[in-house]
C-alpha cells in the first residue's frame, strides 16, 4: 500500500490513532467513574431513608420495620465507610471503618474531615430532628481513580515502544547505507589500484630510482589495505591468531613516518610476542584512528605514547596524547556515530573503532582518562590466546 511507503506519514497516523484510542478510553473511564460515584451516593441516600424509617416513634411500625426492608438495606451497606453526625456536629455512630479504631475519637475526627472534603452530606430528618450522613468513596472507587494514571503510563510506554521501533529501523537503514557506501568505495578504489600497479611495472622497466618505486609501492599497498577494510564493513570478518605487537607496530610506524616531526612518538611493549585473535586490516584501522585523533588533538605538536601490556588473560593497549583533552561527559559520546568536535569530520572514526573492537573482536575500548589541556588516554582490552 502507498500509505506504508511514506514512513513519516505512517508514523503520524499511528501516533494519531493511538492518541484517539487512549483518549476515548480515558473519556469512557471518566464517565464510568462519575456514574459509579452517583450510584454510591444513591445507595447512601437509600441508606439514610432506611435510618429514617427505623427511627419512628410508632412501636408497632418499629417492630414491622425491623423485620422488613430498611434493616435489610442497612445491613447490606458494607462497602461504603460513613459517619452519622447530629445537628450539633457530634458523632453518633460510624460504620465500615477500621474496627480497631472505631472508638478512637481522633481517628473518627480525621475520617470525618476526609468525608466532608469528598462528598456532600446526606440529611436524615425524623421527628423534627436532623442528622447528617458523611461518607467517603469506597475502596473500589479509590482504585478506579488511579486507573486513568495507569492508562496514561501505558500510553507513554506505548509511544516509547513506537519511538524505539522507528529509531531502530532508522539506525538499521543508516547502517545499511554506510555499508553500501563503504563497499562501493572499495570497489571504486580497485580500478585505479590496478592501473597504478601497471605503472609501477613500467617504472621498473624504465629503471627509475628504486627508492621512488619503493615509496610508491608502499602507498599502493596502503590503498589496497584501505579498500580491503571498506569491503569488510557490514560482514563478519575472519579472525586469525596474530602477534598483536607486530600488527600494532606496523600501523604505528606508518603514521609516525608521515606525521609532523614536532610530534614525539613512543612505542613500548612488555613482550615481543603477544597473541590474540585478530583481523589485521581492521585492527590496524583502529590503531590508526586513535593515533590520528591524538595528532589532531595536539594540533601537530606534542607527545604520543603507545604501550602494550600482557596480563594473565588480557592484552592491554594504551594510547596517550598531550592534546586538548575532553570533559568526562564526552567519554561515551565520542563513540557515537556522527559525533565530532572537529570543524571538518564525519564522526565515524571512533564509532567504527568501537564496532571493530567490541563487535568483531569481543574486546573493550574506552577513554581511560582525560584532562583539559593535558591530554587523553584511550585503552583497548582484548582476550589473549
Q: pLDDT band for position 52 (50/70/90)?
A: low
CATH level 3 topology of 236-383: Heat Shock Protein 90 (3.30.565)
- What is the band of 72 on the pLDDT scale with cuts at 50, 70, 90? low
The CA distance from 284 to 244, in Å, is 10
The span from the CA of 382 to the CA of 34, in Å, is 64
The pLDDT value recorded for residue 77 is 60
In the chain, which ranges are E strands? 82-85, 91-95, 122-126, 129-135, 240-243, 263-269, 275-278, 302-310, 314-321, 364-371, 375-383
Residue 244, pLDDT > 90, answer yes
304-335 tens-digit pLDDT? 999 999 998 999 999 999 999 999 989 988 88
Burial class (CB in 10 A: 0-12, 13-18, 19+), 298: buried
Q: What is the mean pLDDT of the chain?
A: 79
Q: Check whether 11 has a pLDDT greater than 80.
A: no
Q: CA–CA separation, 315 vs 283, rounded Å?
A: 14
Name the most confidently modeled range: 24-28, 236-240, 305-309, 334-338: 305-309
Q: Where in the chain is the domain with CATH 3.30.565.10?
A: 236-383
What pLDDT, on the 0 to 100 scale, is given for residue 270? 92
Question: Which residue in this structure is represented by grid cell 557490514?
Answer: 234
* Distance between CA atoms of residues 256 and 265, nearest Å: 7
Beta-carbon contacts of 381 under 8 Å, excluding residues fewer than 6 positions away, are 314, 315, 316, 317, 363, 364, 365
69 or 242: which leads in pLDDT: 242
Query: Hey, how many other C-beta atoms are within 10 angstroms of the C-beta on 180?
Result: 12
Q: What's the pTM?
A: 0.53
Confidence of residue 93 (pLDDT cuts 50, 70, 90): confident
> Residue 69 — pLDDT band, cuts 50, 70, 90?
very low
Residue 381 has pLDDT above 60, yes or no: yes
Kindly state the cell numbers that stand for 309. 601490556
Report d(CA 339, CA 179) in Å as an integer.
18
Pairing of strands 240-243, 129-135: unpaired
Amino acid at each position: 500500500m502507498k500509505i506504508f511507503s511514506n514512513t513519516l506519514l505512517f508514523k503520524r497516523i499511528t501516533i494519531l490513532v493511538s492518541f484517539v484510542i487512549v483518549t476515548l478510553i480515558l473519556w469512557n473511564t471518566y464517565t464510568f467513574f462519575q456514574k459509579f460515584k452517583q450510584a454510591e451516593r444513591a445507595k447512601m441516600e437509600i441508606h439514610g431513608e432506611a435510618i429514617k424509617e427505623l427511627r419512628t416513634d410508632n412501636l408497632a411500625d418499629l417492630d414491622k420495620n425491623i423485620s422488613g426492608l430498611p434493616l435489610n438495606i442497612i445491613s447490606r451497606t458494607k462497602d461504603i465507610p460513613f459517619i452519622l453526625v447530629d445537628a450539633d456536629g457530634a458523632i453518633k455512630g460510624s460504620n465500615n471503618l477500621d474496627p480497631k479504631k472505631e472508638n478512637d475519637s481522633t481517628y473518627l475526627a480525621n475520617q470525618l474531615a476526609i468525608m466532608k472534603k469528598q462528598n456532600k452530606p446526606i440529611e436524615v430528618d425524623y421527628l423534627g430532628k436532623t442528622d447528617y450522613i458523611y461518607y467517603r468513596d469506597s475502596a473500589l472507587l479509590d482504585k478506579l481513580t488511579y486507573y486513568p494514571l495507569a492508562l496514561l503510563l501505558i500510553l507513554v510506554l506505548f509511544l516509547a515502544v513506537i519511538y524505539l521501533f522507528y529509531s531502530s529501523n532508522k539506525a538499521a537503514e543508516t547502517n545499511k547505507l554506510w555499508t553500501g557506501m563503504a563497499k562501493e568505495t572499495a570497489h571504486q578504489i580497485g580500478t585505479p589500484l590496478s592501473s597504478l600497479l601497471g605503472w609501477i611495472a613500467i617504472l621498473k622497466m624504465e629503471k627509475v630510482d628504486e627508492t621512488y618505486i619503493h615509496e610508491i609501492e608502499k602507498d599502493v599497498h596502503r590503498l589496497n589495505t584501505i579498500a580491503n577494510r571498506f569491503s569488510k564493513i557490514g560482514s563478519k570478518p575472519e579472525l586469525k591468531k596474530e602477534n598483536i605487537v607486530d600488527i600494532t607496530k606496523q600501523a604505528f610506524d606508518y603514521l609516525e613516518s608521515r606525521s609532523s616531526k614536532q610530534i614525539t612518538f613512543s612505542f613500548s611493549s612488555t613482550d615481543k610476542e603477544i597473541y590474540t585473535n585478530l583481523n589485521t586490516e581492521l585492527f590496524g584501522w583502529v590503531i590508526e584512528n586513535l593515533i590520528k585523533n591524538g595528532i589532531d588533538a595536539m594540533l601537530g605538536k606534542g607527545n604520543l605514547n603507545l604501550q602494550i601490556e600482557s596480563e594473565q588473560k588480557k592484552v592491554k593497549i594504551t594510547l596517550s596524547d598531550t592534546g586538548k583533552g575532553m570533559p568526562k561527559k564526552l567519554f561515551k559520546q565520542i563513540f557515537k556515530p556522527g559525533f565530532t568536535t572537529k570543524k571538518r569530520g564525519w564522526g565515524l572514526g571512533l564509532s567504527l573503532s568501537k564496532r571493530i573492537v567490541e563487535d568483531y573482536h569481543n574486546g573493550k575500548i574506552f577513554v581511560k582518562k582525560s584532562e583539559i589541556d593535558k591530554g587523553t588516554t584511550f585503552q583497548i582490552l582484548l582476550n589473549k590466546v
